[in-house]
Amino acid sequence: MVSFGEALETVKQRVGPINQASVDILKAIGLVLAKDVLATQDSPPFDNSAVDGFAVPLSQIGKDFRAPVAGSIGAGESRAPRVSDDEILKIFTGAPVPKGVGAVVMQEDVAAVDGVADVPATSHGANIRRAGSEFKSGDLLVHSGSLVTPGILSCLASQGLESVDVALPKKVGLLVSGDELKNAGETLQHGEIYESNSVGLVASISLLGGKADCRKVPDDPAKICSEFCSLEDSCDVILTVGGASVGQFDYVRQTVLDNGYEFAITKVAMKPGKPFFMAIKDEKTVFGLPGNPLSAAMTFSLFVYPYLAASSGRPFDRSVQVVCEEIIQNIGDRDNLVAADVRAKQGRLFARVAAQSSSGSVRGLAGKNAALFVPANGEVRPGSLGTAYWLPWSGL
């Protein structure tokens, strides 16, 4: 059995090379860029008008004048009319600025009657967006490692890009076992409960842009082995939920051993989550989560989610320094991870802990966004600094 810190470091060391692929930009949302993206053209690509107004000839810059309106030019027009010194053009937002134009005056500032406009004095370059003023072709547009957001997608699309290189999420298999578990909608008999662990786990995996192949089986060694082997054929990572302890009906550990895996972590001196394990075989990794809801959610959040995040180009470390608001004593030889609500106040992060929940709690993490670390045989006191770990949904 290892400490929480030792287990966390062991999981971190297991993070391997990141798989990359070029995907359609619309499929890149929520993923991480695997390469820098360079601009393919200037932005703007040509001088254009920032407003609806009138194009002023260079010779008329800085003075009031009257001139006939010789025509108009709108966004998307490819023709390039030249403005003479004694006339002006009506121009619309986004339209290319013709040669010989020194500024654009907003239409609200011009009095135009019967095709003749009185134009006030304006400065050179007013209301003109110059080609390349935002960035130039070849400039770094978005850094490698950036999370692809809708804002980034729009930026990529403005460059005519159809695809982008991203870090691919791991293919995850989820194996949930237990005779007592039923799906939502089924009628419960005495002693049965609705299976809820997979719902939160699948949702958490989706936050990384990934999907999980979820299988549910009874406490039957043959069926557990069959589904485990099936997931092994198609997945990079397998999460087992339940059967991780050493009870009479806990068959998962033996299944993992029988299929050639070696344990890197057998148990963790923490609560909740002592039965958590990690096993490895070649490039495959198995994480064994306890079946109790709070234990499953906490060990996934603290160990598995950072592993999956780092494997898809995100940071592994999700720890943060917080100011504790209550006294929490940990009488025992296991580190305690307590569900907490962390909020920013006056430039600092404060952690508030509700009543501690048992490992079987189904709402132990509801309304919480972090797990506060309380060391074995230790305590945290109001006003003291402590370490908390963000849960997968923090920031949502």
How many angstroms separate the most distant Cα atoms in the chain?
A: 96
- Return d(Cα 37, Cα 139) in angstroms, integer: 9
Q: What is the pTM of this model?
A: 0.87
Q: What is the pLDDT of residue 247?
A: 60
- Return d(Cα 361, Cα 24) in angstroms, integer: 41
Q: Which domains does the chain have, with CATH numbers?
A: 2-20+169-311 (3.40.980.10), 21-42+135-167 (3.90.105.10), 48-129 (2.170.190.11), 319-390 (2.40.340.10)
Q: What is the pLDDT of residue 246?
A: 63
What stretch of H or E contains 382? none
- Return d(Cα 161, Cα 142) in angstroms, integer: 13
- For tokens 């230790």, the residue is 378
- Return d(Cα 117, Cα 89) in angstroms, integer: 10
* Per-block mean pLDDT, blocks of 10 residues, the chain (396 long): 96 94 95 96 96 95 93 86 87 94 96 93 96 97 95 95 96 93 88 90 95 94 95 96 70 93 96 95 96 93 97 96 92 93 94 77 85 94 95 87
5-40 tens-digit pLDDT: 999 999 999 998 899 999 999 999 999 999 999 999
**Alpha-carbon distance values, 90 to 66, 72, 76, 272, 349 (Å):** 14, 4, 15, 71, 55
Q: What is the pLDDT of residue 193?
A: 86
**Alpha-carbon distance values, 102 to 67, 120, 125, 129, 130 (Å):** 15, 14, 6, 12, 11
Question: Phi and psi of 330, rounded to 5°?
Answer: -120, 95
Contact 292, 245 (CB under 8 A): no
In DSSP terms, which residues pair with 118 in a beta bridge?
66, 111
Contact 394, 367 (CB under 8 A): no
Question: Phi and psi of 165, rounded to 5°?
Answer: -85, 125
141-170 tens-digit pLDDT: 999 999 999 999 999 999 999 999 999 999
Eight-state DSSP code of residue 294? H
